[in-house]
Amino acid sequence: MTKSIDAKSKPRETLHEHTWNCLSVLRSIRQAMPYLPQVCGEEHLFQHLFLAVYLHDLGKAATGFQDMLDDLGPWDYRHEILSAGFVKFLNGINELQRKAIMLAVITHHRTTTDLRGDGEKRVFSTIGSTLEWEQKRAELQPNFSYVQDWLINVPNAAEEFLGQSWPCPQIPQSVDEIEDAFRSAVWWFQKSPDAKALHSPYAILLRGLVVACDHLASGGKANLLQGVKDLARHLRVEPRTFQKEIGAVKGHAVLEAPTGSGKTEASLLWAANQQDSGRRIFYVLPYTASINAMLHRFQDAKDGYDLGDSVGALHGKASYFLYQYLCDKDYEPKAAAKATKDIQGLSRKIYRPIKILTPFQIIKAFFGVKGWEMQWAEFAGGIFIFDEIHVYDSRTTALLLTALEKLHSLDARFLFMSATLPEFLKFQLTSLLPTFTEKRLDVDRADDKELLNTPRHCVKKLTGEITSHIEKIRDSLNAGQTVLVVCNTVKRAQEVYQQLYDGTDSKALLHGRFILRDREEIEQQLGEVKLLVGTQVVEVSLGLDFDTIFTEPAPIDALIQRFGRVNRRGEKGIVPVHIFTQGGQNDGYFYDIDRIQLTLQTLQEEDLLTQHKVAAYVNRVYKCGYNDKEQRISDEASNAFRKVIAGLVPFDASEREEEFYDLIQSVQVVPQEFEESYVTAITTKDFFGAMKYLATISLGQGMKLRNLEALPRHEIQLDKKPKSYYVARAKYDKELGLLLDQIDCGGVIMD
C-alpha cells in the first residue's frame, strides 16, 4: 500500500485494520455457520460476502472523507456509493451477483429508501446528481495508487480469510472507470423488473451478514462466539430416560412432560443433537420475569448451567435489568451504562450463540424492523425451543406460527415443550411441520410411570370470589406454609395483597405495573418470600416452589401452569391447590368465560391431578379449539402477516414496520411523583437511570387515563430535539405499583 488511509477517527483505525477485523468476523461466521450457502440457495454466498466486505469501505479513500476524519470540515456524501463503484472490476461473478454485491455494499449503513430520498424518509436530496458523483469520484485521484493496490490484493486476502484464492479484479487505470453505483444499482433495483430476482434469501442473508461483519468489527469484536456443542456437560444430574430420548431426536419435536420434571434439561439435550457446527439457539419465553430467571439459570456457575457469556437476553426491558445488575456488582453508573450498551449491542447481533427472548423478538424480523436481514441470517438454520407455546393469545400464536412457517423454509429446527399442549394446537403444528417427533412419558417405564401417575396436587374448590376467603389464606400462612396467590387482573391482585398485608413479614406482589426499579427488586426476592401474590406473570418458567396456591378461576392450561409453581418436584407429597369458583368482573377481557366454566366443571372436588388426567382435561376443555372470535382473529392475523412477509424486500426499508409496534398493546408511563427524577436523568443523558422510573400500562388503560385528563404528554429538549413522555397522574406505591383507580385530579386523589 502506498500510504495509510483511515476508516475511523475515534479511536483512530486504518482502513486496513477495520477491513481485516470485518473479514475476521466473516471467517468466524463461515466456520460457525457453514450451512448458510445451502439454506439460501447460493453455494458461493461466503465468497460474495468476502468481496462485499473487502470493498465496503474503500470509498473512504476519498480526500474529503479523510479530511473529515481530521476535523478539516464536513463531507456531504456517502462513502458506500463510492465503495460500490469498485464492484464493477470484480471477476468470477455474473451480472446478477454483481448487482447483489453492489447493493450489499451501498446499503451497509442506509437503505435504498434513505439513499434515493423518497417522501418522508428523505435523507439525501442531491445524492443522485451526476455532477456531484463526478466531483466526489475525483476525490479518489490523490489516493488512486492505494485503491489499485487494494484491488490487486484480493487473491491474497481471499486465501487468508476464505482459505481459497479468488481471481484478481481488473485494475482500473483512471478514476473515470469507476462506476456510478447509485444509478447502476439503486435505480436498477427500484425500477427494473429483473430486480425481483434479488427478492430472495440469498440477497437477504448477503446484506444481513455484511452489516453483521461491519457492526461487530466496529464494536471491537473480530470474531463471533462459536456455537455450543457440548451442552450435555453443563447438566448437573444424570438425565432421565425421557430426557435422553428427546435428546436423541434429530429434527422437529414436541415434548409433553409435567412441570418440574426437567423439560429445560431435555431441551438442551435436544438442541445439542441438532448442533452440527455453530447453529444459534433461541429459547422462547412469554414474560420478562421468566426470561430474566432463565438467563440467570443459564449463566449461573454454581447452581445453573454455567454457559456464561454465550447467553444473552432479548426483551424490551433487558437493558435496564442488565444495567442494574452491573450497578449491584459495584460498577460505577457510567461504566455500567457503557458495559450494558456493549453487552446488549452484541446480544442483538449474531455474536452470542444462545439467546433467551420473547416471540415478539422473532415476529418483528418479519415486519422488516431495522436490522431484519441480520436477524434472518442468524435465524436461518437456527434451533428454536418454545416453552409453553399455548399461553399466547390467538393473534400472537397466529403471527408466531406464520413466522415459523418461513423459518422452516430456512432450515430452522423447532422443539415445542409443554405440560398441557391441547390437541388442536398440535394439529396446527402438524400443518406447519409435516414431520416432527412427538415424545411423551411412557407409562410402562418405571421412572416415567412415577412422573405420570404420582399426583402432586389435590383440587379444592372454594365457592365464590377470592375476597370472601381471605381468612382461609391467612390460615395457611399461620400454619407455616408458603403460599402463592394468583389473580387474573392487576387491580384484584393489589386488593388481595393489601388484605393479606399483615399476614406475614415475608411477602411480595408481582405484576406488570411496577416501575422497573421496584420490579427488579421484587424479582430478586421471589424465591425467599412466604407469600407471593401475582398475576399471569408467575405462570411460566419461574423456578418457584410454594406449599399451596389460591387462584382465581382460569382456563385449564393456565391453572395447570399456576399449579406448577407449587410442590414443583413432588417432594411434599400431595398438596392442596385451591380454586375459587368465581372470578372478577373484568376477567372476560383476558379469558373466554365459557372456557373457564367448562374448566370448573371438568375439575372435580378432591381430584388428585396426575399428568394423565391433566392431558385429558386440557383436551376436553379445548375440544373445539378456539372460539369463533379467537379463530377469526387468528385467520385474519395469519393472512395479513403472510402478505407482510411476502412484501419484504432486501436492501430497502419496510413500509410495514409501524404495524409491528401497533402489536405491542401497551404504553410506558412515568408516575407523576417520579417525573422530576426522570427529567433530571434524561437531561443529564443518564438514560438507564431514567428507565427505572417507567411503568407499563395497556393501551386501553392509557385511553381511560387520557379521557380523565390524567395522562398528559410532556416534552423536554434534548440536544435541541424534543423528547416526549407520558405522565400518569395516579397514585404509586412501592409495594403495590401504579394504582389506576386512584387518579389525581387537581391535587386530590380520587378513587
pLDDT per residue as tens digits for the range 230-253? 787 788 778 889 999 999 999 999
Q: Read off the pLDDT band of 127 (50, 70, 90).
A: low
Is the per-residue pLDDT at 289 higher than 70? yes
Task: Check residue 723 and give its pLDDT.
Answer: 85
Q: Rounded mean pLDDT of the chain?
A: 88
pLDDT for the residue numbered 322: 55
Give the contacts of 238 (CB within 8 A, at least 6 positions apart). Answer: none
Specify which of 257-261, 356-360, 658-662 reaches the highest per-range mean pLDDT: 356-360
Report the largest interatomic distance among the alpha carbons of the chain, rounded to a whole angstrom.
91
Q: 454-621: which CATH topology? A: Rossmann fold (3.40.50)
What's the pLDDT at 636? 93
| Region of 644 on the Ramachandran plot (φ > 0 left; ψ -120 to 50 alpha; else beta) | alpha
pLDDT at 686 over 80: yes
One of 1.10.287, 3.40.50, 1.10.3210, 2.20.25 is the CATH number of 6-218, namely 1.10.3210
d(CA 341, CA 335): 10
Mean of the pLDDT values across residues 668-681? 94
Is residue 118 pLDDT above 50, yes or no? no
Highest mean pLDDT, choosing among 399-413, 540-554, 733-747? 399-413
pLDDT at 749 over 60: no
**Could you tell me the CATH superfamily of domain 231-443?**
P-loop containing nucleotide triphosphate hydrolases (3.40.50.300)
Angle at 600 between CA 401 and CA 488, to 5 degrees: 60
Contacts 24+ apart (CB under 8 A), 410-413: 410/39, 410/40, 410/201, 410/376, 410/379, 410/380, 410/381, 411/35, 411/38, 411/39, 411/380, 411/381, 412/379, 412/380, 412/381, 412/382, 412/383, 412/384, 413/251, 413/252, 413/274, 413/382, 413/383, 413/384
| Confidence bin at 2 (pLDDT 50/70/90) | very low
The per-residue pLDDT for range 63-111, each reduced to its tens digit, is 999 999 998 988 988 999 999 999 999 999 999 999 999 999 999 998 8
Global confidence as pTM:
0.89
6-218 and 231-443 have identical folds: no
Residue 674 has pLDDT above 50, yes or no: yes
pLDDT digits (tens, 9 = 90+) for 571-628: 899 999 999 999 998 888 889 999 999 999 999 999 999 988 998 999 999 999 999 9
Residue 536 near residue 492 (C-beta atoms within 8 A): no
When pLDDT is cut at 50, 70 and 90, the band that residue 345 belongs to is: low
CA 164 to CA 155: how far, in whole Å?
A: 8
Angstrom distance (rounded) from CA 490 to CA 535: 7
* The pLDDT of residue 689: 86
Q: Domain residue spans in the chain?
A: 6-218, 231-443, 454-621, 665-750
pLDDT for 639 equals 93
pLDDT of residue 319: 61
User: Do you find a cis peptide bond into 11, omega within 30 degrees of 0?
Assistant: yes
Question: What single letter denotes the amino acid at residue 110?
Answer: R
Please tell me which residue, 65 or 335, carries the higher pLDDT value. Answer: 65
Position 454 scores a pLDDT of: 87
Q: How far is CA 357 from CA 318, 404, 569, in A?
A: 10, 15, 26
666: three-class secondary structure by DSSP: strand
